[in-house]
Amino acid sequence: MSDPQQPQGTPTGAPAPGPSRKPIVLAMAALAVVGAGLLWFALRGKPEVPEPAAPSSPPVAAAPTPDAQQAAPTTPTVPLPPLGQSDARVRELVGPLSPIPELAKWLASTEDLVRRFTTAAGNIAEGESPRAALSFMAPVGTFQVVEREGHTFIAPESYARYDVVSRVFSSLDTQASVRTYQTLKPLIDGAYKEISRPGQRFEQTLSNAIQRLLDTPVPEGELEVVDTPGVNYAYAAPELEQLSAAQKHLLRMGPANARAIQTKLRELQGALALPRASR
């Protein structure tokens, strides 16, 4: 279980000594899918257009005029900026999708937002860590463990570092996210085309990423770890240690946060028209 820190056995709640690597961040949750990034590209759908009101009396005109037909959409089409100049527009559209201010703060703290999140989705789909793409969402604090009766467990304080990520992701407005996806879809497709193999569709990659996180087993109770020289802490349970890096990072958010992320992913998955996961 690769970890952002390499702490040694410490007293209850004590921070581990200095890190051997930079903190590894979960997307996810997003990522993928997870984290806050999914809200841009996770949903497919069309903006709702109201039905024309029934006339109170027989219509006078035989057919609607071109101007009337053009006035039907509820939201005018606003040209998108080029991908490399899209951050301001993305922040404007995505920030309000959660009532929790941390989302807007994260978006303001970095650049190249669409590329970062399409990359993170690809990472998770392949089972890899999205830490490079989502480094701006790094949790505050250090990885901590507790020792009890000769066993080492991940400390509750370590899980608490991810509480904000879980709350933000769970708070996303699904219907508003659908509309935002439709607006940003040309940028998303353009960013994904830069990193994908010929013929590869983003929808398939997204489906694979979501399913990978949903397939992650989340055990009840504490998670035991063992200090493995050279590779940092590893999960004591072989079935957990053999999971992909993306799945193991989801577990490191803690059982409560991981389940909250999975619950929201299922809600989003239910609103998608994605192909079956192929991984």
Kindly report, residue by residue over 108-163, the tens digit of the pLDDT. 999 999 999 899 999 999 999 898 888 888 888 888 999 999 999 999 999 999 99
Q: Which of 264, 42, 268 is nearest to 168 (CA)?
A: 264
| Residues in Cβ contact with 41 at an 8 Å cutoff, skipping those fewer than 6 apart | 117, 118, 121, 181, 184, 185, 188, 202, 206
Q: What is the pLDDT of residue 73?
A: 46
Q: What is the pLDDT of residue 15?
A: 42
Residue with tokens 């999140």: 117
Average pLDDT, integer, range 180-207: 90
Residue 178 has pLDDT above 90, yes or no: no
Better-predicted residue by pLDDT, 273 or 275: 275
Kindly report, residue by residue over 243-262, the tens digit of the pLDDT. 999 999 999 999 999 999 99
Q: What is the pLDDT of residue 164?
A: 95
Average pLDDT, integer, range 208-215: 96
Q: What is the pLDDT of residue 54?
A: 44
Q: Domain locations in the chain?
A: 28-47+79-138+162-219+245-270
Report the Cα 32 to chain-centroid distance in Å. Answer: 3
Kindly report, residue by residue over 224-241, the tens digit of the pLDDT. 999 988 768 999 999 999
- Ranges of H-type helices in the chain: 38-41, 66-70, 87-94, 102-108, 113-125, 156-160, 163-170, 174-195, 202-214, 238-241, 245-251, 255-270
Q: What is the pLDDT of residue 136?
A: 83
Better-predicted residue by pLDDT, 86 or 13: 86
Kindly report, residue by residue over 186-199, the tens digit of the pLDDT. 999 999 999 999 98
* pTM of this prediction exceeds 0.85: no
Contacts by 185-189, CB closer than 8 A, 24 or more apart: 185/41, 186/80, 187/80, 187/83, 187/86, 187/90, 187/114, 188/40, 188/41, 188/114, 188/118
Average pLDDT, integer, range 14-23: 36
